[in-house]
Copies of this chain bind each other. A is one copy, B any other.
């Protein structure tokens, strides 16, 4: 597949995830947040195009590409975190998609071959993006010497992710060679086939949220709240009209609760699905 095609699949995955509605608690086609709007996410997704292109060409390391992705959206004066988790999940997929072998095997190789330099670049990107993800305790950005500490540890980016895999959805994907993303990619294709693009994405989002509590909600509001939201997502899924999803959407927005990690996972799954020829 050409690098341009890989980049188009990646950007479209971000845009399809962004646009589908109602995705309870997240920015979508029908509502903005007060500080960051739909159009900011549009700009952030489009700005990542050359980064995905470069990744698929085999240029640049995983960590440096994630960092470039963050810098790219900031050239559009976007100061908030828009797509950090999505970039962290999708950059390795883009690198793998540019290689000749089977996607999941190539991806496992990309992750395994990350280095401590990737880990340092990731931490820089994390800081730059002002991302709200639980840090690994032993390497806190609050420690002025984090760079040296990390370098001396020799930990690769994948090893670092393994340390967070218990409490972070994105890190868990890195630690399992994207097991869940590949499963969800199939689910999305099935659901889109049955329900159409919008409702197919929404229903896969609800299903994913119901199965595993969102780690961004956990980090901000605690485990109990995250579990409650997952239970509600499961109930909303049983409703054929999605009216319960709309209701949950209004409630979460009012409380500023957004299942952002699940959204990142859905973007990665859509990316895989598009690479595999998803029809929409």
Residues of chain B within 8 A of A38, CB atoms compared: 19, 29
Q: How many residues of A contact B (CB 8 A)?
A: 25
* CB atoms of A280 and B39 under 8 A apart: yes
Stretch from A3-11, A56-64, A142-150 contacting the other chain? A3-11
- Tell me, in angstroms, the Cα distance from A50 to B39 when the chains sit together: 21
Given contacts A12-B43, A15-B46, A16-B39, 17 further A-B contacts (CB under 8 A): A4-B49, A8-B46, A8-B49, A11-B46, A15-B15, A19-B38, A19-B42, A29-B30, A29-B38, A30-B30, A39-B280, A40-B280, A43-B280, A46-B46, A46-B49, A49-B49, A77-B279
- Tell me, in angstroms, the Cα distance from A49 to B3 when the chains sit together: 12
Does A37 lie at the interface of the complex (its beta carbon under 8 Å from any beta carbon of B)? yes
- Tell me, in angstroms, the Cα distance from A26 to B29 when the chains sit together: 16
**Contacts A4-B50, A7-B49 given; does A15 touch B42 at CB 8 Å:** yes
* Interface of chain A residues 109 through 156 with chain B (CB within 8 A): none
Residues of chain B within 8 A of A40, CB atoms compared: 280
Does A74 lie at the interface of the complex (its beta carbon under 8 Å from any beta carbon of B)? no
**Contacts A4-B49, A8-B47, A49-B7 given; does A16 touch B42 at CB 8 Å:** yes
Residues of chain B within 8 A of A280, CB atoms compared: 39-40, 43
CB distance from A227 to the nearest CB of B (A): 32
Interface flags, A61-91, vs B, CB<8A=1, else 0:
0000000000000000100000000000000
11 pairs, CB–CB < 8 Å, chain A vs chain B:
A8-B46, A8-B47, A11-B46, A12-B46, A15-B15, A15-B39, A15-B42, A15-B46, A16-B39, A29-B38, A46-B46
The main secondary structure of chain A at its interface with chain B is helix
Residues of chain B within 8 A of A39, CB atoms compared: 15-16, 19, 197-198, 280
Residue of B nearest to A39 (CB): B197
Residue of B nearest to A29 (CB): B29
Residues of chain B within 8 A of A50, CB atoms compared: 4
Residues of chain B within 8 A of A7, CB atoms compared: 49
CB distance from A40 to the nearest CB of B (A): 8
Residue of B nearest to A38 (CB): B19
- Tell me, in angstroms, the Cα distance from A63 to B250 when the chains sit together: 48
- Tell me, in angstroms, the Cα distance from A64 to B153 when the chains sit together: 55
- Tell me, in angstroms, the Cα distance from A280 to B41 when the chains sit together: 12
Residues of chain B within 8 A of A279, CB atoms compared: 77
CB-based closest 4 A-B pairs: A4-B50, A15-B42, A11-B46, A39-B197
Residue of B nearest to A78 (CB): B280
